[in-house]
Structure 1
Amino acid sequence: MAKNKTVETAVNVEEFIHSFVDNDQKKADSFLLVELMQKWSGFEPKMWGPTIIGFGSYHYKYASGHEGDAPMLGFSPRKAEFSLYVYSPREDNTHLLDNFGKYKMGKACIYIKKLADIDISVLEAMCRNTIAYLEEHHTCACRN
């Protein structure tokens, strides 16, 4: 079976942001996201793979037998836009997207250009709903 590429690493989050993000606004937004997601999740930020900043973790296992660990919440300050890993398929999450702001939906993430384009209170609700979903459906670091 293939090995997971997105695993927790020992890279320092602050150093990663300073070295990887070359836009001052994106850098400021990155540090604000770290602060907010840490507050909402109760977990310290950790690097996952080369570019994802994650908070907490959960264990997943697919019907195919593939399994692994992933951050409960996370984001990546990619060059073109942020990738937010904050959305779960809960029924009570779908209406939140109506008031979220400017975004594009990906297969596993939400893309935004900058934090000023979205409603932070809606982001918080999404994050909290996602944590609740993961706690209900997976083995989470929050239970360890």
Structure 2
Amino acid sequence: MSEPKTKVLAAPFEDWVADVEPELRRDEARALDILFRGVTGFEAQVWTGGIVGYGAYDYTYASGRSGTWMATGFAPRKAKLSVYIMPGYADFAPILNRLGPHSKGKSCLYITRLARVDMDVLGELIAAGLRDLATYWPVRDRA
């Protein structure tokens, strides 16, 4: 099997985030780091592709494909922030209804401006996502 494209980098979060552009996204990334560390109890790990992860889990699919992935995290993209709630199977509609403006994919939540969402509700969503993930795969602090 091929090596995964997305891997943990050795870069410390503070070094990495200093290069995030534009400045608004850099500030939002720092605010998200504080939130994720507080909710998860895990330190940030920078992954390739501009992703910041918290915690990790090992998976093996029925196909035999296996690997390690972050338990939760975010990516400060230019157009939107991507928040990763793994594995994305649970119905978090009651929480999402209270979050504020967002859109979603299977395991991603997209936020245009962090200031427009309720940070307490986002923290609740991150915690709920970790609890859901732990029903599928054991979660640990680092990849």
For the criterion TM > 0.5, the same-fold answer is yes
- CA contact 2:104–2:110 (8 Å) conserved in 1: yes
Distance 1:100 1:12 in 2: 30
**More strand as a share of residues:** 2
Unaligned runs of 5+ in 1: none
Give the AA of the match of 1:61. Answer: T
Distance 2:108 2:90 in 1: 14
Identity %, equivalent residues:
31
- CA contact 1:60–1:139 (8 Å) conserved in 2: no
The Cα of 1:108 is off from its aligned counterpart by 2.7
Q: Deviations over 1:40-78 (max 9, x none)?
A: 101110112231000110111211111111111100011
- CA contact 2:74–2:83 (8 Å) conserved in 1: yes
- CA contact 1:43–1:56 (8 Å) conserved in 2: yes
RMSD over aligned Cα, in angstroms?
Answer: 1.5
Distance 2:106 2:132 in 1: 18
Task: Write out aligned runs for 1:84-99 (5 A).
Answer: 84-86=83-85, 88-91=88-91, 93-99=92-98
Distance 2:21 2:90 in 1: 35
**More helix as a share of residues:** 1
TM norm structure 2: 0.89
Tell me the equivalent position of 2:36: 37
Unaligned runs of 5+ in 2: none
TM norm structure 1: 0.89
Q: Partner of 1:79: helix, strand, or coil?
A: coil
The Cα of 1:10 is off from its aligned counterpart by 0.6
Tell me the equivalent position of 2:128: 129
Tell me the equivalent position of 2:79: 80
**Number of aligned residue pairs:** 140
